[in-house]
Structure 1
Amino acid sequence: MANSPLTDKQRIFWSRFSKHLIQEGIKPESVRWYRIRAEQFIRAFPHQRLASLTPDDVSAYLLRLGESPNLRPWQYLQVVDAIQILYKLARTEWSETFDWDYWRASAKALEPQHATLAREYVPLTSAEFVRYVGDKRFAPLILSHQPVFEKLIAVMRTRNMSIRTEKSYMGWICRFIHHCDGQAPTSLGAAQVADFLQYLAVTRNVAVSTQNQALNALVFLFNKVLEQPLGDIGPFCRAKRPRRLPTVLSREEVRRMLGELTGVPWLVASLLYGTGMRLMECLRLRVQDVEFERSLIMVRSGKGNRGRRGGLAVRSPLDA
């Protein structure tokens, strides 16, 4: 459209389009971007008139566009708004009842404080550090070594690590420093780490996964934050891994459990059972992450911040 001269009718249409945007509160300097979004939509349906497109055509377009990893939520909102205004001006009957808000909601990004996302680094005050860790016992310790914790958060967030990992690592580092009588982490090393890990296994009787989590936190602290690689920690008592048989529900038990759920909890539980997704991966799904035609689900920012595709069952796995 931009490569060929506009007709008088087209000029009038785009002039009305721009005026409508400004009436809706869009800044004049942003109007051209909305027009670009609208033109891209029109070009996606060559040889078809705007009025001839159906709600399914618009939904399919928005669904495909939402799969683009390079499209940010605010850009997606521009697309939805631009298409809606196109149809307002075209006065298409179905556009009045089309669920535009549904597609706007699907573009919402998670809040920065969401537990599954790392946030941009913003230095915390002393009081905020204490509230952040959530354990008042560590308040004096955190305030005494605040620069270390500030750098820890900065390094983790620049690596886009999750908030849950961040809080977990901070908790273990607090416990480690507390175990070492509040000494500065820069004065500690492999011997103190081995002693702490042995204390967890022998005195606290923690599980293997708990001890490993503490080890990972301390290795990260020394290697990435303090830039004092631990090297060989040496021998220490490993937590024992208990041998347990997994509890597996039968199909009938799963059917009864799902039968007690309704609404969103039922949907989440069904998706978890049918796809094998992790809980937070399921809770972060957006409508554009589901490809109904191909029976696929796009998992974005999964474990290790990696995306992947998974199968979407056409029918309930319980009916197989």
Structure 2
Amino acid sequence: MSLTSPKPHVARSLHEVLFYLRQAVRSIYRAEQRPPQHEPMVVHWIEAYVWHAPDRPLGERTTADVSRFLSHLAERPGISASDQEQAREALLFLYDRVLEQPLDEPLPTYRSVSDAPPSLWDITGNAPA
């Protein structure tokens, strides 16, 4: 599914892309008879991912972009391991089922900030408390 403009010279706004993306996600999610109670969560995490780097089109994003988003979640207070796993699964659904562009590498799973790569640790080299 293409979420870019059919004419290269006609740029679509991010809001317009999100509108069509929401429709596609919901349509495919429902067609696959997935649990309806999880649908709002899937849409939420996909939208959060799109807004995380609004200047980068979805078709140009890579596994590294998804990993950066998941790392960003690991840094945020109040984001549980369950939230991170939901986001991870939502993004896998986005790439595998909606965009039909499976990610070329497995996604990391961060349970806490201390599980995140050292590049996310503080300047002293210590894992965050």
State the alpha-carbon separation in 1 of the partners of residues 33 and 71 from structure 2. 25
Structure 2 residue 74 is the aligned partner of structure 1 residue 66: yes
Question: TM-score, length-normalised on structure 2?
Answer: 0.67
User: What is the correspondence of 1:81-160 to structure 2 with a 5 Å cutoff?
Assistant: 81-88=89-96, 89-92=98-101, 95=103, 97-100=104-107, 102-103=108-109, 106-107=110-111
TM-score by length of 1: 0.30
Indicate the residue corresponding to 2:85 in structure 1. 77
Equivalent-residue separation in structure 1 for 2:18 and 2:70 (angstroms): 24
Equivalent position to 1:291, from 112, 118, 123: 118
- Asked if structure 1 preserves the Cα contact closer than 8 Å seen for 2:114 and 2:127, the reply is no
The answer (yes or no) to whether the contact 2:74–2:84 under 8 Å persists in 1 is yes
Which has more radius of gyration?
1
Q: CA deviation at 1:35?
A: 0.8
SS at match of 1:75: helix
Measured after TM superposition, the shift of residue 21 of structure 1 is: 3.5
Alignment of 1:144-293 (within 5 A): 287-288=115-116, 290-292=117-119
Q: CA 1:11–1:44 in 2, change beyond 3 Å: closer, same or farther?
A: closer
Q: Could you say which residue in structure 1 is the equivalent of 2:6?
A: none
Q: Residue 18 of structure 2 contacts residue 47 of structure 2 at CA under 8 Å; is this kept in 1?
A: no
* Contact kept? 1:63, 1:287, Cα under 8 Å: no
Higher normalized contact order (CA 8 Å, seq sep 6+, divided by chain length): 2
Report the aligned-residue RMSD: 3.1
Between the aligned residues of both structures, percent identity stands at 15
Q: Whole-Å Cα distance in 2 between the matches of residues 98 and 91 of structure 1?
A: 15
In structure 1, C-alpha distance between the alignment counterparts of 2:57 and 2:75, rounded to whole Å: 25
Report deviation, 1:293: 5.9
Q: Which runs of 5+ in 2 are unaligned?
A: 1-12
Taking structure 1 as reference, are residues 24 and 286 closer, same or farther at Cα in structure 2, changes over 3 Å only?
farther
